[in-house]
Structure 1
Amino acid sequence: MRWLYYLGIRLYVWGIRLAALWMPKARLWIQGRRMQQRLMDDWQLPQNRRRIWMHCASAGEYEQGRPVLEAIRKLCPDAFLIVSFFSPSGYEARKSDTLPDLKVYLPADLPGMAQAFLHKLRPHLALFVKYEFWYGYIHALQQQKIPCILISARFEHRSFFFRFYRPFFIRLLKGFTRIFVQDEASAQWLLEQGIRQADVSGDTRFDRVLQIAAQWQPDQVVERFLQGRKVIVAGSTWPEDEQLWIDCVRQMDLGCPMIIVPHEIRDKHIGQLLSSWPGKGIRYSELAARQEQNMDSFDLLVVDRMGLLARIYAYGWLAYVGGGFGAGIHNILEAAVYGIPVMFGPRYRSFREARDLVRLGAAFSVQDKHAMAQLLDHLKRTNLAAMGTIAGNYVKTQAGATGKIVNYLAENRFLTMA
């Protein structure tokens, strides 16, 4: 099975190289790793500090792992924190973050490359976030007797990989020193596979969104746009989500302006969104540069800067989270933490927090523009404050995963020099 795994990795890399001819994101994937390969010899890695490496797929997983890194920093101020990313969007979005001492791309998991990367880093502890199962790296860590911890994991027995490649992935999972899972169902599934080194910690995303909410600061550009008006905030939207809102606005009066924060901020796409909008819209960057004070005629603000969404949700009386018409919804907890109801598309059932909030009556799924219009009309006549309170309390009751993970690391002396 290993040869098939490595063949799949090679085919993926070849596919990325081919796509780089016309796709900027794929080009960045290749260029970032090539540049890193040339600079690896210049990395200054201290030998007298505990080197702790966390790997994240992209920006979302980094946000999930960040509370653990912050807690490690507090317990072990001298630790040298290294964060690697698989996705260029994750690296680019977080390359200015000052918490890690070193941010890098993860080289492709091919024979020799994983060993060379680990030989350069020489980590004392490795942390993988959520679904990052890289056989070559995990096997090399196991061979070198470096503790390897998987955090905020969740396992679905119907998953494609576990249905068709179960023996291989079970061996891979057994290579982790400890696995911290989000729920009892995941722990039970692991136990049935003979994997006993698992603990139910919960999901560190709850801790992260509570941190962000506690550190919230007003956004002067958003406040100048709103001028006291209530607003619907649609975050991490894809074209399908945006078209849903365009069709809905053509069909009905929302009674308030909107803020849309696209998942991918591309100038051409934002221009198309603004030109298709039935009302009058403006870019965040344009408003920031203008002195105009009267915004009553504008009913749409499109945010074209990264890193603002988590705090912009706080302004909403209602939130919509994108992705539900594609692979799956994005992080609804970033909105729910502020005590507001959440809407999303139909593909949400793989996300426990979405299922929970729907069951509690604080979140809603819509299939099309007609369902959206009916739901909005209903919500206008409903006690949204009560729904929002349910959402906010739900987030608070799920917190605490970070403490469980870091306590384990401290108790087993994974955070101190030998």
Structure 2
Amino acid sequence: EDYRTVWFHGASVGEVQMLLPLIRAWQKRHPKTGLLLTTMTLTGRQTAIRLFPEARVVLLPFDLPGMWALFFRHFRPSFLIVAETELWPNLLRYFTCQGVPIALVNARLSLRSFDNYRFFRFFTMPMFAIPDVVVVQDPVSGQRFAELGTSPERIVLSGNMKFDMLFPGEGVSQTLYHDLFAPETAVVVAGSTHAGEEAMLLAVWEKCYQKYPDIFASACLVMAPRHPQRFAEVAELLALKGVEFQRFSYLKEKDGGPILPEVPTVLLLDTLGDLIHFYNLSRFAIIGGTLVPGVGGHNPLEAAVFAKAVVHGVYVANFRDGFGYLDDQGGGLVVTDQEALENLLVRCLQEPGFISTEGVKAAATLRRQRGAVSRTIASLEQTFGLLPEDNI
């Protein structure tokens, strides 16, 4: 081959989507680079195949010593770039011995993870010393990596690359989605919901509908469970509660594309890869994983990039910086309980000017935080000894 392969690893859907702007920037600067992607989950692999049809995409093997020699002989990666904090000791040791430079990008360490690694530091510190560069989201994570064994000279602060996310539907026809609803339909998207949240949202929606039928009769709640294995469970919940709903998977399979004969109370988004398009259609978004404890929330920027306000609960540990910027600078609307959610939903649908202004603020907040990808690319090129014009 007249080029070498760069290996990117993202655990699941969120990490793969986060890598999109970085990989596109890398390909623009190094167009002859071969591209290998690995994921930990099937949904992550499906997302990677859809976003990067030009790449070789495989599931990451188990972290067993004998696996990596076979993997290396087959794919021959020249560089390894790992999203966030996926650390596998056998993998790291083997590829370091093979002279493959290793980088962690958009890396972060929560306090819980930091305490766990520190408790077992006799075993984990050699692993943290291996990466050639660790590009961190925030100074606190940088300090934690240093305390766990990463040389401070190898730690670079970039900010969060999720602020640089691209719209992954670029080049995909939007007619499929825009023809679903009439312009007057108020589409509200509850994205990446978890157990307990669907029932809560349905209770609040029904209560609002009873109080304000004129407003909510022309609205549609698009409900998108986070995990595909829960699609049937949520459909059963909707049926048991007597909610008028449609499954998007059935509509999408129809000849001529999806058509809604009439707007249902709930559209169950039971397909993969479509949520981002429905955020684009929505008046505003409700971010799942934030309304019940134990999850920590999902990426609010996927809605903010389309100038949509982000409604969320208080459980946001996984994306504290993203929600924090939106709440502080505009575009984030936090609710503390069901009553607050009810009141906010009514206001958002009663006052289109209010929710439109909050959406504009959300997009402006996102733009102000961008730049992490360019800083990350510069760090990778310096670490790998590359120039933009290098034919690698």
Q: CA deviation at 1:367?
A: 4.6
The answer to whether the 8 A contact 2:39-2:59 is kept is yes
Matches of 2:225 and 2:48, distance apart in 1:
18
* C-alpha contact (below 8 Å) 2:51/2:168 kept by paired residues: no
Contact in 1 for aligned 2:11/2:44 (Cα 8 Å): yes
Whether the aligned pair in 1 keeps the contact of 2:179 and 2:259 (CA below 8 Å) is: no
Q: CA deviation at 1:214?
A: 7.1
1:340 alignment partner, one of 298, 308, 314: 308
For 1:275, the equivalent position in structure 2 comes to 239
Report the equivalent of 2:56.
102
Partner-residue secondary structure (3-state), 1:257:
strand
Quick one: structure 1 residues 403 and 306, their matched pair in 2 at CA, closer, same or farther if it must change by over 3 Å?
Answer: same
Q: Contact 2:297–2:317 at 8 Å: present in 1 too?
A: no
- The 3-state SS of whatever aligns with 1:131 is coil
Report the CA distance between 1:134 and its aligned residue. 0.9
Distance 1:397 1:215 in 2: 26
Letter in 1 for 2:339: H
SS at match of 1:175: coil
Partner of 1:403 in structure 2?
374
Does the 8 A contact of 1:225 with 1:295 survive in 2? Answer: no
Are 1:388 and 2:359 counterparts? yes
**Cα RMSD (Å) of the superposition?**
2.7
Determine if contact 2:83/2:106 at 8 Å carries over to the other structure: yes
Instruction: Give, as a single letter, the amino acid of the residue that structure 1 aligns with 2:165.
Output: R
2:226 aligns with 263
Change (3 A) 1:365 1:162: farther
1:179 aligns to 2:148 (yes or no)? no
**What secondary structure does 1:176 align onto?**
coil
Cα pair distance change 1:217/1:277, threshold 3 Å? farther
Match for residue 359 of structure 1 among 318, 325, 328: 328
Whether the 8 Å CA contact 1:219–1:312 is kept in 2: the answer is no
Shift of 1:219: 4.1
Mapped pair 1:204 → 2:165: no
Q: Residues 228, 151 of structure 1: CA spacing in aligned structure 2 closer, same or farther, 3 A cutoff? A: same
Identical-pair percentage: 26
TM-score for both structures, normalised by structure 1: 0.80
Q: Which residue, out of 352, 377, 389, partners 2:346?
A: 377
For structure 2, the 5+ residue unaligned runs are 210-214
Q: Which moved more, 1:107-116 or 1:287-296?
A: 287-296
The verdict on how the C-alpha distance between 1:77 and 1:155 changes in structure 2, with shifts beyond 3 A counting, is same
Instruction: Return the alpha-carbon distance in structure 2 between the equivalents of residues 318 and 268 of structure 1.
Output: 25
Q: Does 1:188 align with 2:154?
A: no
Q: List per-residue Cα deviations over 1:74-117 (Å, max 9, x = no partner).
A: 22222111011112221233334444431111111122222332
| Matched pairs, number | 371
1 CA distance for matches of 2:373 and 2:284?
29
When normalised by structure 2's length, the TM-score is 0.85
Distance across 1 between alignment mates of 2:227 and 2:129: 36
1: CA distance, partners of 2:194 / 2:263: 25
Deviation at 1:155, TM superposition (A): 2.0
Which of 143, 147, 150 is the equivalent residue of 2:101? 147
Q: Give 3-state SS (helix, strand or coil) of 1:179's partner.
A: strand
Q: Which runs of 5+ in 1 are unaligned?
A: 1-46
SS in 1 for 2:277: helix
Per mean C-alpha deviation after superposition, the further-off stretch among 249-258 and 309-318 is 249-258
Q: Which residue of 2 aligns with 1:165?
A: 120
Report Cα offsets for 1:340-360 as digits up to 9, x if no partner.
221223320342111222233
- Confirm or deny: 8 A CA contact 1:244 1:368 kept in the other structure: no
Seen in structure 2, the aligned counterparts of structure 1 residues 88 and 279 have a Cα distance that, compared at 3 Å, is closer
**CA–CA distance in structure 1, aligned partners of residues 109 and 249 of structure 2:** 41
Partner Cα separation in structure 2 for residue 100 and residue 51 of structure 1: 13
Partner of 1:329: 297
Q: What displacement does 1:135 show?
A: 1.0
Supply the distance in 2 between the matched residues of 1:66 and 1:139 (Cα, whole angstroms).
27
Helix, strand or coil at the partner of 2:341: helix
- Of residues 262, 267, 275, the one that matches 1:309 is 275
What residue is the counterpart of 1:234 in the other structure?
190
User: In structure 2, which of residues 196, 208, 211 is the aligned counterpart of residue 252 of structure 1?
Assistant: 208
**Shift in CA distance, 397/276, structure 1 to aligned 2, threshold 3 Å:** farther
Aligned counterparts of 2:363 and 2:323: Cα–Cα separation in 1: 13
Amino acid paired to 2:311: M
2:266 pairs, out of 294, 300, 321, with: 300
Identify the range of structure 1 (109-118 vs 330-339) with the bigger mean alpha-carbon deviation: 109-118
Match of 1:115 in 2: 69
